[in-house]
Amino acid sequence: MVPSLGAERLTAADASNVVFDTADQVNVFALAGLLGIGGFVHADGTLELDRLRAEIESRLHDPSVPELSRFRQRIIEREGRLVWEPCEPDLTWHIRASDAVPGLDGLADLCAALMIRPLAAHRPGWELLVVPAGSTKGPAVVLRAHHAIADGVAAVRLAELLFGAESAPSRARAEPSPRPRGAWWRAAVTGVVRIAAMLRRSVPRTVLLGPIGPRRGVGFAEVDLATLGDAARHAGGTVNDALLAGIAAATAAGLRAGGHPVPGVLPASVPVALPERGGSGNAVGVMMVQLPTDEPDVALRIRRIAASTRAAKDEARAAGTFELTRSRWGSRLFAWLARRQRFVVMFVTNVRGPAAALTIGGAPLEHAWPVTPIQGNVRLGVAALSYRGRLACTVHTDATALDATAVARALADELTTLATTALSRGTA
């Protein structure tokens, strides 16, 4: 279903993301990138922001791309319900220049600061910052949006429509599988089990869990996607399995570097896209994956993770969105439990990126990294995006608990080593 510009009630999944947005845990996602020369970015370093605003405005009002209407709405409460209300964005505010930062490290620090900065509640929930970055040929950009607008899969589609060519491909949607007879009671049992799991104290004390403070850290990593994919297949897994294997080793390295004990297993929460969205910007199930840190053999680590994810992915899709996020009161209870749970220690998300390279105001988007929030009492999150033949990863941490730069560096090293080692074994 395509959003309209009339007042429209938020779906339960979208509304839950408003409940999760609090002063100390801002529920926004970001896409950070580096631009090349072209379009509104001139070779002498000057930026023609009015040209960029004019292009974005034309896309927002293009009747052939109604999916972008969320960028012309704000969220308000009316008669006890959250609704999307028409609100034309002031593009001189929504699209603006930011202070210069010192290269990629400066961009990471800016993203860390933005992940705790609330969006303006009286405006549509997004902004696009153009950031001069001293050590790059073009500026950096950061698109920030409220999570109620979209999850990772939907956000990629919105980026294609907002920045890509008019020929941005529509994504085929899987047809929902017919629900077998008697599925309702199995779904009910699954729901009870999933809610009860949040009450279990299955994770020993670790610095990865605890109150999330205001100091955040962000680190970037990249690896060649084709090489990693070949290596993952030779090891009996997918790119996502290889990513999870790399995160296990990188997290262990980050814990050791900080003088913290390393658990033998790191339970991770991994979202799985659902085939039917029902008009919602958010439609994900969640699979739980046990990431081993005690397996030194790279190929075996991938294999162990792949064996777990194959079954867990189908189960997550069958179960659908988490039961407590299907109502407003349930979302409040979920948010309360999330700050006290000892069931997972990290969030990991991996999204297939745009099918074609994007341009922003005529300037090529040469690199892109996703940044997702950390919430509840989970102090580590890793987001990945495939773009232009690279798998771009972003580590987001509570800076008082874990050094994001150290974990990101270890992740880049681990994924590169993992790819070459697993591939050489497969071809030996």
Position 7 scores a pLDDT of 78
**pTM of the entire structure?**
0.89
Query: Could you read off the pLDDT of 128-184 as tens digits, one per residue?
Result: 999 998 766 889 999 999 999 988 888 998 999 999 754 444 443 333 344 444 443
For the chain, the domains span 8-163, 195-427
Torsion of CA 53, 56, 62, 68, to 10 degrees: -130
What was the pLDDT predicted at 45? 87
Contacts of 302 by beta carbon, 8 Å cutoff, 6+ apart: 232, 235, 236, 237, 241, 242, 245, 418, 422
Judge if 8-163 and 195-427 fold alike in CATH terms: yes
3-state secondary structure of 383: strand
* Per-position b or e across 355-380, b if 16+ CB within 10 A of its CB: eebbbbbebbbbbbbbbbbbbbbbbb
Of 189, 209, 218, the closest CA to residue 108 belongs to 218
Q: In 3-state terms, the chain is what percent helix, strand and coil (to 5)?
A: 35, 25, 35
Provide the pLDDT for residue 322: 67
pLDDT (tens digit per residue) in 327-377? 777 888 988 999 999 999 999 999 999 988 999 999 999 999 999 999 999
Q: For the residues of 6-20, what is the DSSP string, one character each?
A: S-EEPPHHHHHHHHT
State which residues of the chain have pLDDT below 70. 1-6, 135-136, 165-201, 276-279, 283, 321-323, 422-428
**Alpha helices (H) along 24-98:** 49-60, 91-94
Which pLDDT score, from 0 to 100, does residue 1 have?
A: 43
Helix, strand, or coil (residue 414): helix
Q: Which fold has domain 195-427?
A: Chloramphenicol Acetyltransferase (3.30.559)
Instruction: Specify the CATH class of 8-163 in words.
Output: alpha beta
Which run of H or of E encompasses 318? Answer: helix 298-319
Please state, as a whole number, how many other Cβ atoms lie within 10 Å of the Cβ of residue 59.
16
